[in-house]
């Protein structure tokens, strides 16, 4: 029996050949649409999972005692640039870091998963990322909280690659970068439940 390949000719869709072990598989990538559109049915010009705000690189006080470095670029080994938010205690040095690695967007105020899952308002702060460590608690305990958008998520470059070996390699690269930052003591841990927890095994394996 011969296989027939059908060309994909849909808007915002591309066909990419990916290598998984010794096998090459054609993968369909579709540009995500924003759930928050100015006009009903209008699609946003983004290339990520869910709502994707514009990059806004800045440093500011997120709340008393907590500094946020927003949309910090990190270059992975293949040249792909991803972006991360870093929350850390104001003025502190030699700080251990906790990484929340996931695909849900790195700022709670830009998504609504907490509320959709039934978490009561006020249970976590507005600084917290979905299923992840809350900076409003952990920074006051002397930790930095680091929320990256992995490749393909929000404004990070590349195609999203969930729960695979590529994700593990990217997480490894990110942690190696993080451990060299001037404010850290080089100790990096990970945090999270559900999908934010599962990815830790792949990153640790690297």
Indicate which CATH number applies to the domain containing 191: 3.40.50.1820
Is residue 201, in this structure, part of any structural domain at all? yes
DSSP state of 44: P
82 in any annotated domain: yes
Cβ neighbours of residue 113 closer than 8 Å, sequence gap 6 or more: 104, 130, 131
Mean pLDDT, contiguous 10-residue spans, the chain (206 residues): 48 74 77 47 40 85 97 98 97 97 76 65 83 94 97 90 89 98 97 90 94
Cα separation, 115 vs 93, in Å, equals: 35
Separation between Cα atoms, residue 5 and residue 25, nearest integer Å = 12
Q: What SS3 class is residue 69? A: strand
Residue 15 phi, psi dihedral angles, 5° rounding: -105, 125
Domain hosting 152: range is 58-205
Residue 3 is assigned to a structural domain of this protein: no
Residue partners of 97: CB distance under 8 A and separation at least 6: 143, 144, 145, 146, 178, 179, 181, 184, 187, 188, 189
Find the helix or strand (DSSP H, E) in which 26 lies. strand 23-30
**Number of compact structural domains in the chain:** 1
Residue 42 lies in a domain: no
Take residue 121 and report the two structure tokens written for it. Answer: 């308002």
Give residue 48's pLDDT: 37
Evaluate whether residue 27 is within a structural domain: no
Predicted local confidence at residue 51, as pLDDT: 55
- Residue 27: per-residue pLDDT: 74
Residue 7: inside a domain = no
**What's the confidence (pLDDT) of residue 39?**
40
């Amino acid at each position: 029996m011969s296989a027939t390949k059908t060309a994909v000719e849909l808007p915002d869709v591309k066909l990419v050949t990916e290598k998984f072990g010794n096998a090459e598989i054609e993968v369909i990538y579709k540009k995500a649409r924003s759930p928050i559109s100015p006009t009903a049915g209008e699609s946003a010009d983004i290339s990520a999972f869910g709502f994707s705000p514009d990059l806004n690189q800045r440093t500011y006080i997120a709340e008393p005692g907590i500094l946020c470095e927003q949309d910090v670029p990190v270059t992975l080994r293949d040249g792909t640039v991803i972006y991360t938010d870093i929350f850390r205690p104001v003025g502190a040095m030699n700080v251990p870091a906790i990484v929340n690695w996931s695909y849900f967007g790195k700022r709670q105020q830009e998504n609504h998963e907490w509320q959709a899952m039934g978490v009561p308002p006020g249970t976590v702060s507005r600084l917290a990322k979905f299923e992840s460590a809350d900076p409003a608690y952990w920074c006051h305990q002397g930790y930095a909280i680091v929320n990256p958008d992995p490749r393909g998520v929000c404004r990070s470059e590349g195609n999203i690659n969930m729960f695979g070996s590529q994700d593990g390699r990217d997480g490894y690269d990110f942690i190696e970068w993080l451990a060299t930052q001037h404010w850290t003591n080089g100790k990096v841990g990970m945090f999270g439940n559900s999908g934010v927890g599962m990815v830790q095994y792949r990153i640790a394996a690297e």
